[in-house]
Structure 1
Amino acid sequence: MSIQFYYAVGIHQRFPQLQARALFAEGINANAVPSTIINGLMAVANHRLSVFGESEFPEIQAWRRAFSTMGLKPTQYRCASEALLRRYRKEGSLPKLHPLIDLCNSLSLAYAIPVAVFDLDRIEGNLCVCFAHGDEAYESFSGEIENPEQGEVIFADDARRAHARRWTNRQSGWSAVQKQTERVLIVAEALHDDAGDDVAALMFSLVEALRLTWPEVKLRKGSVA
């Protein structure tokens, strides 16, 4: 797991309130059943949603402000956690995709914080959150190739492939977790006032859940400088 994950200097300059944690995990498989852990996290999300709508959560409001700063309409382009919460509130459930994705989605619901998961075997070199040049290649889940807008915040690797567009809005189908995925990078990011404590708590819960679900998993914290 020699890949490095980092932020371009300009990201921290424009969003000094950003708090992020990254975790590398090796030894993941699609055979685990972390349902007990997921049910507990869903209960937290249910309680929060019973008190306020997701748009009132400080975590979501902070991302909406950031999207507005980036020139994006927040109700058109939502951060991943808001999109999940909104879908969950309307439908009462989320589709089961892969035990790791289901686990990370439930963490995102409980903490209202975007959690991205990338298949490391689909990333060339290092991965950076940066402002797009506009010529990077992004593959959607339907297989279509897009180019991000110049200046758009993306996750880009050394091969100039974009693994996420509009920062926390939409990941790429290219590096999405599949049945055969064994090595992943997991990133949690927040911008609200208590982001540091909340992202740390989310990552602590994630590490515990990974070790319970995949006892042989190898973990390494990633630098987010």
Structure 2
Amino acid sequence: MPRTLTVSDEVRALAPGFTHVVIEAHGLRGGPSTEASSALLDDATRRLAGRLAGRAPHEDPHMAAWRGVYTAFGAKPSRTRNSAEALAKRALSESGLPRINLLVDVYNAVSVARLIPVGGEDADRVEGAMRLVRATGDEDFVTVAGGEETVEHPAPGEVVWRDDTGVTCRRWNWRQGPRTRLTEATASGVFLLEGLAPMPVADVERAAAELAEFLQKFSPGARISVGAPESADGRARR
């Protein structure tokens, strides 16, 4: 079974329509982007365009819900977009989606096609339990600015993912830290799919199933487990 990721009561109160699904995978075959992973991203862009049917990403009801939650904890969603909206905007631009590495390409493809925030962490670099909390403002977030490693601190009340060492992702799913990100050498990963009402729980499950299928395709023999969707009240849902 995949590891448990905890969600604090403060976050549950902020976003009662929140549901997440965790995938844990071991024996992954990382590496640079490939023609196959690039093709996944191209297909995801086509699927996104069909889904939006001419609308801007922020006009999708699921993205609008994320904007509402971002506003509730003090972020400006037009400046700090959730990861799915940011990727969707990039996909529809002239520059298109970036090619990062094989594993990141795979989960980005699911995020764009399904318009759902998806994150990936190197399980071997996560220290202790992962939890979603509202920050005190004292937590460390190690990032890189201008080519130099630097330490930032989230704003008090900001929603962050963290482990025992510090913040792994700021503003819920806006910016991931380099310490735990998936690289070409990653062999074990934790993937998180996050949904808000009005997205049906079944849609989050379908996105997780698709990601698990892609991971198995690109890493034959990998051990992949998909958790049950957990709702904002802390209960597994089926």
> What TM-score, normalized to structure 2?
0.86
- Map of 1:30-41 to 2, 5 A cutoff? 30-31=30-31, 33-41=36-44
2-structure distance, mates of 1:71, 1:43 = 33
Query: Residue in 2 aligned with 1:156?
Result: 162
- The superposition leaves residues 78-134 of structure 1 with CA deviations (integer Å, 9 ceiling, x where unpaired) of 100111111121125212111110111111111111101111121111100011122
Given that 1:119 and 1:175 are in contact with CA atoms closer than 8 Å, whether structure 2 keeps it comes out as yes
**Is 1:75 the equivalent of 2:81?**
no
* Paired residues, number: 224
Give the superposition deviation at 1:35.
4.5
**Is 1:186 the equivalent of 2:191?**
yes
Deviation above 6 Å: which 4+ runs of structure 1?
A: none
Q: CA RMSD in A?
A: 2.0
- The superposition leaves residues 23-53 of structure 1 with CA deviations (integer Å, 9 ceiling, x where unpaired) of 1111122246444544433321132344311
2-structure distance, mates of 1:200, 1:169 = 22
Query: Residue in 1 aligned with 2:23?
Result: 23
SS at match of 2:30: coil
Percent identity reads: 28
Query: Residue in 1 aligned with 2:214?
Result: 209
2-structure distance, mates of 1:38, 1:166 = 25
Structure 1: gaps (5+ residues): none
Range 56-65 or range 138-147, more displaced: 138-147
Given that 1:3 and 1:125 are in contact with CA atoms closer than 8 Å, whether structure 2 keeps it comes out as no
Range 93-102 or range 34-43, more displaced: 34-43
Query: Residue in 1 aligned with 2:125?
Result: 122
2-structure distance, mates of 1:77, 1:37 = 26
2-structure distance, mates of 1:133, 1:58 = 30
Distance 1:17 1:220, change over 3 A: same
Structure 2: gaps (5+ residues): none
Distance 1:141 1:113, change over 3 A: farther
Query: Residue in 1 aligned with 2:14?
Result: 14
2-structure distance, mates of 1:69, 1:102 = 30
**Is 1:106 the equivalent of 2:109?**
yes
2-structure distance, mates of 1:126, 1:19 = 18
